[in-house]
Structure 1
Amino acid sequence: MKKYLAGALAALLMHLVCLAEEAPEARQRPSDAHITGHVVDARTGEHLAYATVAIEGTTLGMATDATGHYFLKNLPSGRFTLTASSMGYRTERQTVEVVAGKTLEVNFELEGSALAVEEVVVSASRTEQNKRFSPTIVSVASERLFDATASCNLSETMSFQSGLRVENNCGNCGTTQLRINGLEGHYSQVLLDSRPIFSSLSAVYGLEQLPVAMVERVEVVRGGGSALFGSSAIGGVVNIITKEPQRNSLSLSNTTQIIEGGTADYNTSLNGSFVSDDYRMGVYLFGMVRDRASYDHNGDGFSDIPQLNSETAGFRAYYRTSAYTRLTAEYHHIHEFRRGGNAFDQPPHMADIAEQLNHRIDGGGLSFDWFSRDGRSQLGIYTSAQGIVRDSYYGAERNADAYGATTDRTLVAGAQFSHRFVRLLFLPSELTLGAEYNYNGLHDKYLGYGRDFRQTTRSGGFFFQNEWQSERLNFLVGGRLDKHNLMKRPVFSPRVNLRYSPVAWVGLRASYSSGYRAPQAYNEDLHIDALDHKISIIRLDPNLRPEYSHSVSASVDFTRSFGRVQTNLLVEGFYTMLDDVFTLEKVGEDAQGNIIRERRNASGATVGGVSAELKAGIPGRFEVQLGYTFQRSRYNEPERWSDEVEPQRRMFRSPDHYGFLTADCTVVRDLSLSLFGTFTGRMLVQHNAGVIAHDAETLTPAFWDMGLRLRYDLRLTRQLRLELSTGVKNLFDSFQRDLDYGAGKDASYVYGPSLPRSYFVGAKFAF
């Protein structure tokens, strides 16, 4: 799969490049129309190195050099808007008139911003938009957060957003899932560069497999998003935006983490960005190697954290075929091996318990973007694909027949067109139209368990929306029509969003959206548990019906400055109704003695609550962010998961209270201190029989998972710096105290922080 996909991407890229070179515009003489200038800090006057300067409505842009200066060459003539942006600063704009044969000097003074409330996001409406004026609340996790929380992969950082929780679901293989507003991971749509190539299989371990070195930012939209992004966006949308080359740079870093007891986790990454002198071409290369030994917390000889070895490599590249067209290509390869259980020096079938997985993942995509010369229209054509080959072993009692093999193929292709009207009815507006095709072919085979599962899903969708826009008012109406091959009828998912600002520092928002999930296998359905010397397998009810949702939300957003202190307070209420909600029920054992759990429809459920988020900071000095969520997740009728336990209305693993804290302070120049942590309230967790005599439910204790990080920057030369860091994670050692013991353990009975108290040191050379 890897060589075919890489070859196809390379061939298509070369073909489009050749076509672009033949275009008349590519043969035109240089215009000798240039813009030069510098970008400085408005308060200190210090030049800002590597700030981004771009011309809106075109593909043209560059980063300032180490001295804070830039030089845009041979530009097309006309009237344009020039923007300057840098991390930690507000974006500034200036209108310029570009004339052939003339050079303009345009300088920028950027005001510091500790809160990043005016970032440009794409997930709210599938087009670039200022977050502050978006009709939908979009949370952003950026490189600043990755650094402050000492995160090496996305699973370590996504809990630091309101309404989000990352939890560990298996002590043997370490599966994780991201919950949004209390709903399980398969209720959320994970996107890579706005493309839904994360299939059910890749979502099982996906967030832990993606290193932050390849990620520019992660945008999160809470609540139903199917009107834009298709099936499985009931809980929300997680859009992972990969890094794009801006300037020539190179970095090498290592973080070594030592778990109490001596188990080490090594993370080493090498990344480089390279652009041509005329900024017409660029490529960002990334690679990471991770090595972690297994960890046994309670000394029973069975792992509580699995062995993990992985290698990740890939690139993102662009080619500006003209000032108004651009071709972008992305490719990534991930190889990951993980194993939990015991007898690690033996083949898995010689262990009392073994869960072993060997993933080989290859994916990539191509997109072509066109901008009209008047800057009002944009067309994007894209295709993305991902292939997974997984060799696995899920077994107990030294079962030699527990080996399995899985293949998974995902393809996405589509087009999107947007046009800005100067005035439509009563306000300026932007119309967005698009069509998208999704294919997934899954073959999951465990012949020793009599399982040979094949699933092919195909869906075609058409989406549209119109957003009326002004500084005080945004009103969006849209919808998506999907036809899924596992559903008899097409599904229409409407969406309505409203933002109103009575004064500049207050934003009021309200929204409604609907969504659906097709009756297909999802991530946990492709995972096999070892319980009580037996295997637990999930199967689908042959009469499984689609699940539908209706979501409403309302929020108030305050942004004010008090002297140099900038503040932002967001309070949001949300409520989601689920019809024919999917549940899991233990229905007995098969002829081989395997425990069978069946995916069935329940009558319905509701999830509702309130989240609050407070940010405050002084640019360049400190930034603090607090988030808290109160919610209730309940089935309409009591649901039974085991004959040994009374039916329960409360959803499992869904605490009523949870929150987070991040604080970053510059102690002195080049020395910073970060404090970060999450709080998880009491929640109901299933405990399967094995170590205990009968199936049971446990109301877990509340816990904090806190961390500290100290970082010092050494400026070796004007362009070369060395970052040194050290710290501790899970400061209070809140790791679960009542883990099961022995070969009959319930590996899914885990609920605390993913790691015990751990210490880390890091070093990064950056050029």
Structure 2
Amino acid sequence: MRNTLLSFLSVLGFIQIGFGQHNLSGNLSYENEAIPYAQLLISPIQASTVADFEGKFEFTNLPKGSYTLKIIALGYKPIQMAISIPYKSPELSITMEKDVFGLEEVTVTANRNETSRRNSPIPINVMSSAKLEQLSANSIADGIKFSPGLRIENNCQNCGFSQVRINGLPGAYSQILIDGKATFSALNSIYGLEQIPTDMVKRIEIIKGGGSALYGSNAIAGTINLITKQPVSNSASVKTESSLIGTKSWEQVVAGNASIVSKDLKQGVTVFANYRNRNPYDHNTDGYTELPKLNNLGMGAKAFQKIGKQGILHLEIHSLEEYRRGGDQINKAPNEANIAEELKSSVYGGSISVDLINRNQKNKTSIYSGLQSTEMDNYYGAGQDAKGFGKTTDLSTISGIQFINESNNKISGKGEFLTGIEYRTDNMMDEKPGYNLKINQELKTIGIYTQYNWQLTGNWIVNAGIRADWYNLNNASNVSPRLNLLYNPSSDITLRAGYSRGFRIPQVFSEDVHVELVGGEIQAIQLAQNLDTEISDSYTASADWDKDWSSGVIEVIVEGFFTKIHNPFILEERNDNGTFSILEKRNGSGAQILGTNLDFKISDQKYYALQAGYTFLQSEYDAPLQWSSETENDQLITEFLRTPNAYGNLILDVYAIKNGTITLTSIHTGSMLVPHFSGYIENDVLKKTEEFLEINLKISYDFKLKKSKKLTTYCGVKNILNSYQSDFDQGQFRDASFVYGPMTPRTYFAGIKWSWNK
């Protein structure tokens, strides 16, 4: 009996050893310095943890077996390694490699699934939250102007209406996404990039060129995907920044965020808040603003809940409240001013999604839904006109389901099949009763897309996709294909080539509801009765050379692009209706954009990091256009207005002392044609602007406090050379759209930030 009992206990011990739970601990470092807050995941059991402030991590209760350990840390190359549990040594020590420019960073926009930048057949630029902070960017617009091929411009002295141009095309040609979802409506693109605070965003992914094959209408120039912050550890931060614009006007920003995550990392939530207040700025002291008064408050949250071992639920909500007022006599009611543009907007949005992954990690199903609601009370008027009040509302929704299957075999190579369907609505109403203007637009779109990403055995990757959209406007449909190739002739060189088709539905866009004041008179935009869908064919080719050496990294990218636009939307002046002038949006005969983007990056990974981008382009219409009703036939133009043939940017970070950084940035804007309409001047003229060179300087220093706390102080000067427009119109009869060049004059700023990460 005793021997039987001992034998039974021995068997139990063997079972416990073979099938019991085990722990795995270790540390992460780079050149003997700890790497904090890295994310670690063991697949396929989906066990996860986060490294602490000292780079230490621990997994508990792991079953015996063979797995894959994935490690992701901001600024370092991702690691994927095979491990066996129980591990052969009590502690795992891992040394990571620097990835200063994010060449190995995992992105999601190019393929609607996780793909490293290096292995993506579609070129993609990424701007991290750390880079946005280093640039002292308080809004998305402040940051993305330093991305190659992009340019931000101000289009109105009164309200500060700005837009982003990608490869020379205006803002309405770009699709803006939030977490990959097109809830950012055509209306919100007019002020939205200024309203969204950087504290909301983890990173920004930017694709230049047609993206309609995956994301539908408007993705002709490119796609800007705002990836919101997700909680990964218990943390908090708060900052305040003050700026003095042109030695005349103050701007104040107060922002903060906090995250909390459960010990088992199965639930988490992050919240943010951002307040911004800017006094109006009058550059030429004529009593009329060049920059409007601005007051906005943004708040939001993002949470996750793991569902079993293979699923996760995401929830995101945000609200943006803004008041802006430009013109003269800012402290009076708008209808008591000589010129006034006043907007009070409220934006509420959010999304919910569920990701389900099968146990072998080969299949992933995503179900998602999102919406964004906008209400805007506005006034556009001159001469104390009581008729200038109006209201604009917009509700955009999106719902869809997406399926991904991954395969891998020795004969055909690695493949990824993706397909999905989504339903989008956009209901917008714009009313200006005093001028008898009303727009009531209800847009419904169904899109079905499919794509296959094929990594051949060897150095080739082929990506082919197609999307079909059906929309109720004109009862029309559109098919958007794309094909992209990647070839690696060596480990240092990546060649890419691609074709994509894009389209724009003949709908009302943000600039169409913006009423301009030209010469003291109202100027509005209306759509032509027979406005047809705008179609584009885009071609790109690029060569990417990057080289790591013992103490640094260098990357050079040369990219050529050509876009042919069929039935482009153009504006032509109609007769004055007696109350205001009308610009009618019609289809033109065609247009084309041809250009080159150059991107250069170099860093020794210790003392400096330099990145610079420059764009050369030519953009023209197939047939001459009449830009003004006053022009004669010999003054017709084919060149795109407000589009320089050359522009670029530069970012230089110098790590002069430990915990300190000097950041020098620059933006060059080449000469361009800008229309200048009569009112302040006698006749309409076409202005050939001068070139501008904007140079900015920032100095920051981190004070290490107790263990996981940090205090950052910084100060600097934006537009040191005060490179700013000098010929603004003056007074009540000015052309408010005659504005070009850098967004702000010389500006001094200083700030302080406290942060904690457990």
TM-score by length of 2: 0.95
User: Are residues 692 and 326 of structure 1, via their aligned partners in 2, closer, same or farther at CA, if it must alter by over 3 Å?
Assistant: same
Distance in 1 separating the partners of 2:23 and 2:200: 32
User: Are residues 95 and 394 of structure 1, via their aligned partners in 2, closer, same or farther at CA, if it must alter by over 3 Å?
Assistant: same
| Aligned partner of 2:291 among 277, 283, 305 | 305
Deviation at 1:624, TM superposition (A): 0.2
1:64 has 2:51 as partner:
yes
Give the match for residue 593 of structure 2: 607
* Contact 2:21/2:63 (8 A) holds in 1: no
1:379 has 2:368 as partner:
no
Give the match for residue 174 of structure 1: 160
Give the match for residue 260 of structure 2: 274
* Contact 1:413/1:437 (8 A) holds in 2: yes
| Aligned partner of 2:21 among 16, 32, 35 | 32
Matches within 5 A, 1:259-298: 259-298=245-284
1:507 has 2:485 as partner:
no
Per-residue CA deviations over 1:62-120 (Å, capped at 9, x if unaligned) read: 32111211123345665432122222211112112347x99974332101222211100
| Aligned partner of 1:527 among 511, 514, 519 | 514
| Aligned partner of 2:315 among 311, 317, 329 | 329
- Deviates further, 141-150 or 678-687: 141-150
Give the match for residue 735 of structure 2: 746
Give the match for residue 4 of structure 2: none
| Aligned partner of 2:554 among 559, 567, 587 | 567
Deviation at 1:399, TM superposition (A): 0.8
Distance in 2 separating the partners of 1:97 and 1:466: 33
1:582 has 2:569 as partner:
yes
Give the match for residue 34 of structure 2: 47
Give the match for residue 170 of structure 2: 184
Give the match for residue 727 of structure 1: 716
Give the match for residue 725 of structure 2: 736
Deviation at 1:59, TM superposition (A): 5.3
* Contact 2:694/2:742 (8 A) holds in 1: yes
| Aligned partner of 1:687 among 646, 670, 676 | 676
Deviation at 1:375, TM superposition (A): 1.0
* Contact 1:420/1:429 (8 A) holds in 2: yes
Alignment-mate amino acid for residue 275 of structure 2:
V
* Contact 1:58/1:375 (8 A) holds in 2: no
Per-residue CA deviations over 1:175-222 (Å, capped at 9, x if unaligned) read: 110110000000010000000011111111011001111111100000
- Gaps of at least 5 residues in structure 2 are 1-18
Matches within 5 A, 1:472-551: 472-551=459-538
Q: What value does the CA root-mean-square deviation take over the aligned residues?
A: 1.6
Give the match for residue 231 of structure 1: 217
Q: Secondary structure at the match of 2:213?
A: helix
Distance in 2 separating the partners of 1:194 and 1:285: 20
Deviation at 1:60, TM superposition (A): 4.3
Give the match for residue 91 of structure 1: 78
Matches within 5 A, 1:423-434: 423=409, 426-434=412-420
Distance in 2 separating the partners of 1:762 and 1:459: 45
Q: Secondary structure at the match of 1:765?
A: strand
User: Are residues 246 and 451 of structure 1, via their aligned partners in 2, closer, same or farther at CA, if it must alter by over 3 Å?
Assistant: same
| Aligned partner of 1:341 among 322, 327, 332 | 327
Give the match for residue 195 of structure 2: 209
Give the match for residue 24 of structure 1: none
Aligned residues: 734
- Deviates further, 553-562 or 48-57: 48-57
Give the match for residue 243 of structure 2: 257
Q: Secondary structure at the match of 2:386?
A: coil
| Aligned partner of 2:147 among 161, 176, 200 | 161
User: Are residues 56 and 206 of structure 1, via their aligned partners in 2, closer, same or farther at CA, if it must alter by over 3 Å?
Assistant: farther
Alignment-mate amino acid for residue 201 of structure 1:
L
Q: Secondary structure at the match of 2:489?
A: coil
Distance in 2 separating the partners of 1:326 and 1:88: 26
Distance in 2 separating the partners of 1:119 and 1:60: 22
- Deviates further, 322-331 or 561-570: 561-570
Matches within 5 A, 1:347-426: 347-423=333-409, 426=412
Per-residue CA deviations over 1:238-296 (Å, capped at 9, x if unaligned) read: 00001110100110101111112331110100110110111110011000010111010
* Contact 1:378/1:418 (8 A) holds in 2: yes
Give the match for residue 703 of structure 1: 692
Give the match for residue 661 of structure 1: 650
User: Are residues 258 and 494 of structure 1, via their aligned partners in 2, closer, same or farther at CA, if it must alter by over 3 Å?
Assistant: same
Q: Secondary structure at the match of 2:265?
A: coil
* Contact 2:482/2:498 (8 A) holds in 1: yes
* Contact 2:247/2:747 (8 A) holds in 1: no
Distance in 1 separating the partners of 2:63 and 2:197: 39
Alignment-mate amino acid for residue 296 of structure 1:
D
* Contact 1:88/1:619 (8 A) holds in 2: no
User: Are residues 103 and 600 of structure 1, via their aligned partners in 2, closer, same or farther at CA, if it must alter by over 3 Å?
Assistant: farther
Alignment-mate amino acid for residue 563 of structure 2:
T
TM-score by length of 1: 0.94
Per-residue CA deviations over 1:446-501 (Å, capped at 9, x if unaligned) read: 00010111001110011001111157211011100110111433211101000000
Q: Secondary structure at the match of 1:208?
A: helix
Q: Secondary structure at the match of 1:755?
A: coil
Distance in 2 separating the partners of 1:34 and 1:474: 39
Distance in 1 separating the partners of 2:250 and 2:64: 58
Give the match for residue 765 of structure 1: 754
* Contact 1:540/1:600 (8 A) holds in 2: yes
Deviation at 1:57, TM superposition (A): 5.8
Deviation at 1:58, TM superposition (A): 6.6
Per-residue CA deviations over 1:144-164 (Å, capped at 9, x if unaligned) read: 321221111111111111111
Alignment-mate amino acid for residue 399 of structure 1:
D
Give the match for residue 8 of structure 2: none
Per-residue CA deviations over 1:519-541 (Å, capped at 9, x if unaligned) read: 11111001011111211111100
Distance in 2 separating the partners of 1:243 and 1:629: 31
Deviation at 1:56, TM superposition (A): 4.9
- Gaps of at least 5 residues in structure 1 are 1-29
Identity %: 36
* Contact 1:112/1:620 (8 A) holds in 2: no
- Deviates further, 465-474 or 372-381: 465-474
Matches within 5 A, 1:628-643: 628-643=614-629
User: Are residues 624 and 516 of structure 1, via their aligned partners in 2, closer, same or farther at CA, if it must alter by over 3 Å?
Assistant: same
Q: Secondary structure at the match of 2:656?
A: strand
User: Are residues 560 and 535 of structure 1, via their aligned partners in 2, closer, same or farther at CA, if it must alter by over 3 Å?
Assistant: same
- Deviates further, 63-72 or 395-404: 63-72
Q: Secondary structure at the match of 1:401?
A: helix
* Contact 1:644/1:696 (8 A) holds in 2: no
Distance in 2 separating the partners of 1:34 and 1:178: 50
Deviation at 1:426, TM superposition (A): 2.6
1:80 has 2:67 as partner:
yes
Q: Secondary structure at the match of 1:668?
A: coil
- Larger Rg computed on CA atoms: 2
Alignment-mate amino acid for residue 734 of structure 2:
K
